[in-house]
Amino acid sequence: MSKFLKSISIGAVATLLAVPAAAQTFGLGRAALPEEISAWNLDVHPDGSGLPEGQGDAIDGEEIFAIQCAACHGDFAEGIGNWPKLAGGMDTLDREDPLKTVGSYWPYLSTTFDYIRRSMPYGNAGTLSADETYAIVAYILYSNDLVEDDFVLSKDTFLDVEMPNADGFILDDRLETEFTKWVGEPCMTGCKDTVEVTMRALVLDVTPEETAADAAVVEAAAQQEAAITAEPAAVAAQEEAVPEPVGASVDPALIAEGMKVFRKCKSCHQVGDGAKNRSGPILNGLIGAPAGHIDGFKYSKPLMAKSEEGLVWNAETLAGFLAAPKTYIKGTKMGFAGLKDPADIEAVIAYLTTFSDP
Amino acid sequence: MTQKPSRREFLASGIAAGAVITSASAAKAETPDPLITETQTWAQSFGDGVDATPYGMPIRFEDDVIRRNVEWLTADTISSINFTPIHALDGTITPQGCAFERHHSGAIELKKEDYRLMINGMVDRPLVFTYADLERFPRENHTYFLECAANTGMEWAGAQLNGAQFTHGMIHNMEYTGIPLRTLLEEAGYDTAGKWVYVEGADASSNGRSIPMEKALDDVLVAFKANGEALRKEHGYPVRLIVPGWEGNMWVKWIRRIEVMDAPVESREETSKYTDTLENGISRKWTWAMDAKSVVTSPSPQAPISHGTGPLVITGLAWSGRGAIVRVDVSKDGGKTWETARLAKPGEKMALTRFYLDTTWDGEEMLLQSRAMDETGYVQPTKAQLREVRGENSVYHNNCIQTWWVRPNGEAENVEVS
């Protein structure tokens, strides 16, 4: 990293000057090795420092995005459900409910590269190559109409991209705009002539669980409340308890192991009572079912084609899919890279079996 | 879950009992109380022996005092937030087990033995510390609140969530044991030309933030204990950063790297998030400090008055990221008149302060509010005052005066008033 080299040279010149005279040192810790620093020091700055070698354009990026990102962010970076929208929202910042995306809000392109390289894909962070990262960033820019699809993004072209909201920020000015107004001895009596209730949370009714209700609906509310109050315990039980094995042949330890492995799947898939489709389908009844069996979930075309060919999920087919999802079903919407360890695959299948009829 | 009456049943029975106790003198019992006249099982036989619970949990009767999540807020619990049950707590220290959580990639399990902290960048000696190394530096104890910048953020456009836990529960207050960040920076020989430190976590989100060097050298701690024991997994075990008075997102959990720099990184968490959009579409950035704020925790929607008229304790919390709380006023009439509440202890800098107003309730409805003042002279503003400067799209840093509408039956509701 250029930053590292710079710090070494500064350090060499300034060793005697840098440490404040009174500073006490304890001789603890050990020297960080250059390989260690470069493994962790990945930050990319607005001036492009820290960018790696490599390149990519939106044409490559579209394909990678579809596999790695679209499960949450949508095929066109438009976002699915509550997941972040990465494109659109231009000229909405001064309106009610502004849409803040990479295009409409983010002031620096470096932030996008930095974040994707370190922290994405969600649940599989830090696995993208530099070329893939450049390509995904280029695709997000393209989705925001900020570059053409053949624009090749690299450290050399990075600063050519103009971010629309680059000038949309000011430094914290509360001390000037607010503190001068809201100081001093406040009013204690006769501060207002009248007070009216202008808005009530109960009218909106978005509070979970113990919502106080209007006196007129006491009975219904009491019943409903009792039911709702019991819910957290039920949910907790569902998360913590290892489900009863369906067949006597399934090893409880393996199921418990599988429940741990399933954490990797939980951001997109739910199982058990009350499970709902999220960015991935619910997985109840998976074992023994034909691929794409959940009504109301929009599976990828390639997956449904496999289903028509007769693909049924069992220990064997599921193991093949989980080992390399994108190879097993080319074009699957599932953004997950796959489980490397066959033991993990065996365990998670054992866990899923407990949610399937024998 | 224990079988207990629903809150409504409890409330109804409380009000019935309360109706008896309306005179100023102490109530009279009609019949002897069997809890007194009959020998109870707990007074006759044994309770649990020692070691029944090697690490104790709250008694089962308190199992509703828990963190709660608002599902519709986020897409997924892995990157989400829940809320401290402040309506049911008293004093100022938040027990770790019910202190709110905010994760960007879930709460990871990182063993002390696997823990490494790197200091690099503009330093003479880039260093790596183990957990055992950290335990050998001189350490300090300090109590500080941590408030998420988005606390009360759902209330910008109007009264929305009905409960102090949900409107104000993205906060906790703990006594931390840790090493001043200054000590570690000096150990590495930081370059005085470095104006910023960048801090990042070991989890998949890394949640990197840039902190100005002046703050880093002032009161920031690298902490490994909270309330006397190890940090909980969900709060960054084994080591997290403490940034007193500043927004919670900067208190990086599982902290693994500190880089001395001459400029901020402008990471995702300090550009696309944790920036405050004003009405004209321009956004404030680097809004680090949490302004003075307070809330009545009881009575409140989840903690209605169940005892009828007579003596009533109104209580709540106040805090400021810019110093100590010096005064809290309480209004029962939506801000027409105010009374100064009693502080349980003198306010401490950047820590929660408990206030009480010991009063008598006549059974009339109240529009309860609290108003905090800190040592800078700043007075907590109304929502109208905040909106006048910022509009309704700021998301973060909503420190407005909160109103609870307490009804004659003791129930309370989150409302906005003129």
Instruction: Give me the residue spans of the domains in chain B.
Output: 96-282, 293-415
Q: Helix (H, G, I), strand (E, B), or coil: what is residue B299?
A: coil
Residues of B in contact with A265 (CB under 8 A): none
Looking at the complex, report in whole angstroms how far the Cα of residue B43 sits from the nearest Cα belonging to chain A. 30
Residues listed for chain B = 418
CA–CA gap between residue A235 and residue A332 (Å, rounded): 30
> Looking at the complex, does the CB of residue A114 fall below 8 Å from at least one CB of chain B?
yes
> Looking at the complex, does the CB of residue B1 fall below 8 Å from at least one CB of chain A?
yes
Mean pLDDT, range B123-144, rounded to an integer: 98
CB A321 within 8 A of CB A111: no
Q: What is the mean pLDDT of chain B?
A: 94
Residues of B in contact with A110 (CB under 8 A): 266
Looking at the complex, report in whole angstroms how far the Cα of residue B127 sits from the nearest Cα belonging to chain A. 5
> Looking at the complex, does the CB of residue B16 fall below 8 Å from at least one CB of chain A?
no
Exposed, middle or buried by CB within 10 Å (0-12, 13-18, 19+), for A9?
A: exposed
For A227-243, what is each residue's pLDDT tens digit?
Answer: 333 333 333 333 333 33
Tokens of B124: 């003479």
User: What fold is seen in the domain B96-282?
Assistant: Sulfite Oxidase; Chain A, domain 2 (3.90.420)
pLDDT higher than threshold 70 for residue A320: yes
For A42-92, what is each residue's pLDDT tens digit?
Answer: 999 999 999 999 999 999 999 999 999 999 999 999 998 889 999 999 999
Question: Tokens 């050298």, residue?
Answer: B217
Residues of B in contact with A211 (CB under 8 A): 162, 301
pLDDT higher than threshold 60 for residue B59: yes
Task: Give, rounded to a whole angstrom, the gap between the first and last alpha carbons of chain A.
Answer: 56
Q: Helix (H, G, I), strand (E, B), or coil: what is residue B80?
A: strand
Q: What is the mean pLDDT of chain A?
A: 83
User: What fold is seen in the domain A252-353?
Assistant: Cytochrome Bc1 Complex; Chain D, domain 2 (1.10.760)
* A341 or A187: which leads in pLDDT: A187
- CB contact (8 A) between residue B381 and residue A178: yes
Counting Cα atoms < 13 Å in the Cβ hemisphere of B23 gives: 5
- The rounded percent of chain B whose pLDDT value lies above 90 is 91
Instruction: Give me the residue spans of the domains in chain A.
Output: 2-12+30-160, 252-353
Among B residues 231-290, those touching chain A with beta carbons less than 8 Å apart: 256-257, 259-261, 263, 265-268, 271-272, 275, 277, 279-289
Mean pLDDT, range A187-202, rounded to an integer: 95
Exposed, middle or buried by CB within 10 Å (0-12, 13-18, 19+), for A165?
A: buried
The set of long-range contacts for B355-358, using a CB threshold of 8 Å and a minimum separation of 24, is B355/B294, B355/B315, B355/B316, B355/B317, B355/B318, B355/B328, B355/B330, B356/B313, B356/B314, B356/B315, B357/B313, B357/B314, B357/B315, B357/B330, B358/B311, B358/B313, B358/B314
pLDDT at A212: 36
For B4-30, what is each residue's pLDDT tens digit?
Answer: 444 444 444 444 444 444 445 567 889
CA–CA gap between residue B23 and residue B25 (Å, rounded): 6
pLDDT higher than threshold 60 for residue A250: yes
pLDDT higher than threshold 60 for residue A303: yes
CB B172 within 8 A of CB B95: no
For B100-116, what is each residue's pLDDT tens digit?
Answer: 999 999 999 999 999 99
Q: Count of CB atoms within 10 A of residue A349's CB?
A: 22
* A93 or A206: which leads in pLDDT: A93
- CA A191 from chain center: how many Å? 47
Give the residue from A10, A114, A181 with the most B CB atoms within 10 Å of its CB, the best one to mutate.
Answer: A10
Residues of A in contact with B124 (CB under 8 A): 11, 14-15, 18-19
Q: Helix (H, G, I), strand (E, B), or coil: what is residue B222?
A: strand
Residues of B in contact with A19 (CB under 8 A): 124, 186, 189-190
Q: Do domains A2-12+30-160 and A252-353 have the same CATH topology?
A: yes
Tokens of A13: 């010149």
Give the residue from A44, A112, A206 with the most B CB atoms within 10 Å of its CB, the best one to mutate.
Answer: A206
- CB contact (8 A) between residue B376 and residue A183: yes
Phi, psi of A259 (to 5 degrees): -65, -35
CB B333 within 8 A of CB B387: no
Task: Name the residue facing A82 among B74, B377, B393 (closest C-beta).
Answer: B74
pLDDT at A239: 37
Among B residues 334-353, those touching chain A with beta carbons less than 8 Å apart: 334-338
> Looking at the complex, does the CB of residue B131 fall below 8 Å from at least one CB of chain A?
no
For B285-294, what is each residue's pLDDT tens digit?
Answer: 999 999 999 9
Q: Which CATH superfamily is domain A2-12+30-160 in?
A: Cytochrome c-like domain (1.10.760.10)
- CB contact (8 A) between residue B371 and residue A19: no
Task: Name the residue facing B418 among A107, A198, A200 (closest C-beta).
Answer: A198
Instruction: Specify the CATH class of B293-415 in words.
Output: mainly beta
Question: Tokens 């940090």, residue?
Answer: B231
Q: Residue B95: is the preceding peptide bond cis (ω within 30°)?
A: no
In sequence order, which residues have a C-beta less than 8 Å from that of residue B290 and are 6 or more positions away?
A: B145, B147, B149, B245, B246, B247, B319, B320, B321, B397, B399
Q: Which residue of A has its CA nearest to B287?
A: A172
